[in-house]
Structure formats: structure tokens, C-alpha cells
Amino acid sequence: MLENLFGTAKPVIGVIHLLPLPGSHRFDGQLEPVFLRAEQEAAALTTGGVDGIILENFFDAPFTKSRVDPACACALSLVAKSIMSITPVPIGINVLRNDGLTALAVAATTGCQFIRVNVYTGAMLTDQGIIEGQAHELLQYRRLLSTKKKIHILADVMVKHAFPLSPFMDIRQCARDTVLRGMADGIIVSGTATGSSPDVEDLKAVREALPSTPLFVGSGATADNVRGLLDIADGVIVATSLKRRGLLENPVDADRVRTLVAAVKKESPATPGC
């Protein structure tokens, strides 16, 4: 799947945290700045050498735990089409907090190739309350949409900013359930919060439980630790460490992207302009 979708066995997926969208209380009524920043970040990620890009309505927080406003879905679709016109890399959609149905709808109507779902199976206690998985609904909806190319579902296992309802949940079994019962196409293991690295033992446990399933690190990858993470995982989804000065609220920095991608490929980053 990774070779077919991303053209490499160890993909780096950069994240674009979209400015507040319609339907969010933080939206100021102006869509043009959303487009401009998203396009600038897509250009920086592409120039830096990422293998894929995922769009998130990250700055819409606080998030609804169910369906987002239709205006948000429309805006996401418009941004996705805009990004697809300026970059050749595969594009994914993550609709926070857990609106996989809207993510699928946006992907299907715009031609995006994958989505991320934070709580795909089971149930997690989050700052939005208890969120339950929606694997059955998502697979049924994907079949209903019947797109020419399959939209791949990347599902988090015990997602960040959330806690399992039972303290005895085993991450190995959660991962198996996500793939063997939920039929996810790939799985994601993150740290406890945005920008934090996953526990290496958790990552190893999931790898051992599902040795042939595409496994992504969903947070905390940096130029310093990415090689070690990719000794276990198949790919990384990166946001914070690619921002200017490594600050979450800042735009993507093309030089930071080059440095991380070079670390993945064990190369020295090319000098800008050369």
C-alpha cells in the first residue's frame, strides 16, 4: 500500500493545520487567509520533499465530537482542491475531532487518497466527552461512495489527547481489533499530546502485534529521532517539528522539512537555491 500510495516504503506525511474554518467560533469571516496559508504550507512541504500531505481543521478547537458544520466540510473541500492544484503528492483529510464520515465525503468529492480517523474502533474518553468508534459506518459509507480509487483509512490506536475507558486495555489488542475487526488500512501510534513522541515500547508492541500492517508514528517525529522511529514504524505524520522555530502556531518552514526528510533518507539537506 505504501509504495502504491506514496511511492516509497518509508513515507513522510506533512500536516497542514488549517486556520479556523466556517462553523468554528474562531472563524473571522475571511476565507482568503485560510487559502493563502494552506497554499504556502503545501508549497513548503512539497519543496521540502514530503511524500504526502494531510489537511486538518486543527485551529477549529474546541471541536465537536460528532459531525462538523456543513460549512466546514465545504471549506475543507475547497482547500483540498486548491492544494491539489499546486502539489503532486497524495492528499489526506482529518476532520477533528472524529468526523470520519465528513473526511470520507471530502476525500471522495475532491479526489483525495486517504483519511485519518482518531477513534475508529472502541471508545475513548476525550476533552469532547466519550467518543465511540465508527468503523462499521465508515466502511459502509466508503462502499456507498464507490470511488474509482480506494480511499485508504489510517486509524489511530489509543489516540493522543484521550484515555481508554478501561485502565486494563492492551495496546496490542486494540491494534489487532482496529485492523482485524475494524478493517483499517493502516494504523497510527502517537504520544499523549500533539508534538509528543510515542512510547517506544508501545510502538514495538503494535509492530509485533501487526507485523505486516502499515504503521505510522502520528506525533513527535523530529529530525533527531525520526530514524529511530522508522526502525520500527513504516512512516511518520509530522506537524510541530516542521513549523518555524518548532512552534505549533507558526507556518511550516521549508528548511525544517528538508532537514527531516534528509534525516529519513540519510542525506544532507540541499542548500536552498542550489
pLDDT in tens, 13-31: 999 999 999 999 999 999 9
Q: Would 84 be classed as within a structural domain?
A: yes
Residue 267, pLDDT above cutoff 70: no
Residue 270, pLDDT above cutoff 70: no
Q: Is 74 exposed, middle or buried (0-12, 13-18, 19+ CB in 10 A)?
A: middle
Total domains in the chain come to 1
Q: Would 132 be classed as within a structural domain?
A: yes
pLDDT at 274: 36
Residue whose C-alpha is closest to residue 53's, from 72, 36, 65, 40: 40
Q: Would 115 be classed as within a structural domain?
A: yes
Q: Would 274 be classed as within a structural domain?
A: no
Give me the mean pLDDT over the 74-101 stretch.
97
Q: Would 271 be classed as within a structural domain?
A: no
Is residue 134 within 8 A of residue 100, CB to CB? The reply is yes
Residue 251, pLDDT above cutoff 50: yes
- CATH code of the domain containing 188: 3.20.20.70
Q: Would 154 be classed as within a structural domain?
A: yes
Residue 217, pLDDT above cutoff 50: yes
Q: Would 270 be classed as within a structural domain?
A: no
Give me the mean pLDDT over the 181-205 stretch.
94
Q: Would 156 be classed as within a structural domain?
A: yes
Biggest distance spanned by C-alpha atoms of the chain: 54
Residue 272, pLDDT above cutoff 60: no
Which domain covers residue 60, as residue numbers? 2-265
As a whole-number percent, the residues of the chain with pLDDT over 70 amount to: 97
Residue 144, pLDDT above cutoff 90: yes
